[in-house]
Amino acid sequence: MSRTAPGPRRERARRGEGDRLRAEILEATQTLLESGGGAHAVSIRAIAQAVGCTPPSIYLHFTDKAQLLLEVCRSNFERMAAETSRAVDGIEDPAEALKAVGRAYVRFGAEHPEQYRVLFMERPPEDIVPMVLTQLDDVTGFAQLLSTSRRCVAAGLFASDDPVAVACVLWAVVHGLTSLLITKPSFPWTERDEAVDRCLDAVCRGLRTPVA
Amino acid sequence: MSRTAPGPRRERARRGEGDRLRAEILEATQTLLESGGGAHAVSIRAIAQAVGCTPPSIYLHFTDKAQLLLEVCRSNFERMAAETSRAVDGIEDPAEALKAVGRAYVRFGAEHPEQYRVLFMERPPEDIVPMVLTQLDDVTGFAQLLSTSRRCVAAGLFASDDPVAVACVLWAVVHGLTSLLITKPSFPWTERDEAVDRCLDAVCRGLRTPVA
DNA sequence: TGTACATCAGTGAACGCGCGTTCACTGATGTAC
DNA sequence: TGTACATCAGTGAACGCGCGTTCACTGATGTAC
């Protein structure tokens, strides 16, 4: 962060509106995460400066840096779940739905790379309760893939009758694509949606019942 | 690292054997990387303590922390390249070779998770020249997949005639599997080689010429 | 209508820590005369 | 064979930095009497 001047002060919230700062802190944390430096740029001091308050004020609303980050993760998991779930809305063909989920998954990661990094690529810091994160990512990322896989398996689209195994393969491919797009952006991936489709097409065709 | 006692002193190298310390530093860095904490545990001070020398001694052999880490990365890229290349040795069937590369790739990542993290999952620190890293990972990870894909394409195994596109799909799946195994070890991946085979089988079948 | 008081929403200064890095030095060892 | 000297392989102490967190405080605002 280096030699940062105090920066402008926000005006103090009025009585009864103390929770406003809480929201501003969460928002500033997201903004800092997105901006260049990634998770490394997110420090209590940097957040305070971005919000326009002092570091101790943050402890008025969060017990810990860990708790603050956990809150941010939780909201990002929810955003991602909302987007992937919206992607399948109204799509009846299970095979099409599967592709839609995959595309939405990769899009979320590509559009929010730093958030995706934190959620799926970094070791969770020891102080964040692992249980919570596990529950959360059971819900997100994988969950939508799993439920759509279930539809496909039920429709007899795949040779396997195990939706979990199917979803694992799909997860590997969409996560692989997403994280490579993030860490190796200089790579010749051509157009993003095209790359996603090529991968998903191949995998889905490969998973199909060999009858066709 | 917390409150670490000075630790045992190594005996000073004899005249003309000054480079011994250099090797010991590199080795200790790898060991620290593997041990619990990952890249986060690798500090100049921790390395010095592990080696049994003082921090300034490290600057006798490396100009920078960045240069030291770059050296370690380089050697890890080489180890990985050696292992994936050894995996295809003597395999004539290109399809079998492809699976062998994939399995070797994932095995390397699973056996050296912290090293794999640094090489393929973390943002390279700004001070490390990105060019060098780009060259390196063009050589590693992807390169072996690409050359094997070339063999498969040449043998007419796949519908696509673009080995790069084929290798991208394969990279996505092996990297995805590897990195998920690392970040989400609690996941029901069943047996590792089995999961790899299931993924690779699906992808390869999907990429095949639709004739068969 | 005026005033004492509690509460709310913060601030300022400091704590101890670990980090990468620098600087002046030291002591053993080989070499030249 | 003895000694001055250069070199090698390091060490000890300190630098400034940013970090998370704590503690005692302050000033505005609403409320009770």
CA A75 to mean position of chain CA atoms? 9
**Residue B50 CA to nucleotide C28 C1', Å?**
24
Those nucleotides of strand C lying less than 7 Å from any protein Cβ are 8-14, 17-24, 29-30
Tokens of A168: 């694992």
How many Å apart are B51 CA and C20 C1'? Answer: 18
Q: Which residue is nearest to nucleotide D29 (CA to C1')?
A: A15
Choose the mutation target among B142, B171, B211 for the interface with A, i.e. most A CBs under 10 Å. B171
Considering only CA atoms, which of A36, A45, A98, A46 is closest in space to residue B125? A36
Residue nearest to nucleotide C27 (CA to C1'): B12
Task: Tell me whether residues B184 and A123 touch, CB distance under 8 A.
Answer: no
Average pLDDT of A46-73? Answer: 96
Residues in contact with A23: Cβ distance below 8 Å, sequence separation at least 6, in sequence order: none
pLDDT at position B100: 96
Percent of chain A with pLDDT over 70: 90
Å between CA of B126 and C1' of C19: 17
Q: Is A203 in contact with B201 (Cβ distance < 8 A)? A: no
Q: Which residues pair with B208 in a beta bridge?
A: B158
* A16-23 mean pLDDT: 95
Chain A residues closer than 8 Å to B180 by CB: 171-172, 175
What pLDDT is recorded for position B133? 53
pLDDT reported for residue B136: 56
> How confident is the model over A93-134, as pLDDT tens digits?
999 999 999 999 999 999 999 999 999 999 876 555 454 555
Which residues are within 8 A (CB) of A135 and not within 5 positions of it... i.e. 6 or more apart?
Answer: none
Q: Where do the H-state alpha helices sit in A41-186?
A: 44-51, 55-58, 65-88, 94-111, 113-116, 130-139, 142-154, 163-183
- How far apart CA B200 and CA A207 sit, in angstroms, is 11
At residue A126, the pLDDT reads 58
Contact flag A180-B175 (C-beta cutoff 8 Å): yes
pLDDT in tens, A180-203: 999 988 777 778 889 999 999 999
The pLDDT value given to residue B132: 52
Q: Which one of B103, B106, B131, B175 would you mutate to disrupt binding with A, by most A Cβ within 10 Å of its Cβ?
A: B175
Which positions of strand D lie within 7 Å of protein CB atoms?
Answer: 8-14, 17-24, 29-30
Task: Calculate the angstrom distance between C1' of C5 and CA of B121.
Answer: 58
Query: pTM of the predicted model, to two decimals?
Result: 0.94
Beta bridge partners of A158: A208
Q: Which of A137, A177, A183 lies nearest to residue B121, judging by beta carbons?
A: A183
**Does residue A167 surpass a pLDDT of 90?**
yes
- Pick out the nucleotide with least CA–C1' distance to B22: D9
CA distance linking residue A22 with residue A147, whole number of Å = 35
The C1' atom of C13 and the CA atom of A31 lie apart, in whole Å, by 28
B3 touches strand C (CB under 7 A): yes
Which nucleotide lies at the shortest CA–C1' distance from A51? Answer: C10
> CB–CB of B183 and A123 under 8 A?
yes
Per-10-residue mean pLDDT of chain B, 212 residues long, equals: 68 93 98 90 97 98 95 94 96 96 96 95 67 58 92 96 93 96 81 91 90 52
Q: What is the mean pLDDT of residues A61-72?
A: 95
Which of A183, A192, A201 would best serve as a mutation to test chain B binding (most B beta carbons within 10 A)? A183
Higher pLDDT, A205 or B134: A205
Q: Is B137 on the interface with A (CB under 8 A)?
A: yes
- Contact flag B173-A171 (C-beta cutoff 8 Å): no
* Rounded CA separation B168/B149 (Å): 10
Give residue A125's pLDDT.
66
Q: What is the pLDDT of residue B1?
A: 44
3-state helix, strand, coil in chain A (%, to 5): 65, 0, 30
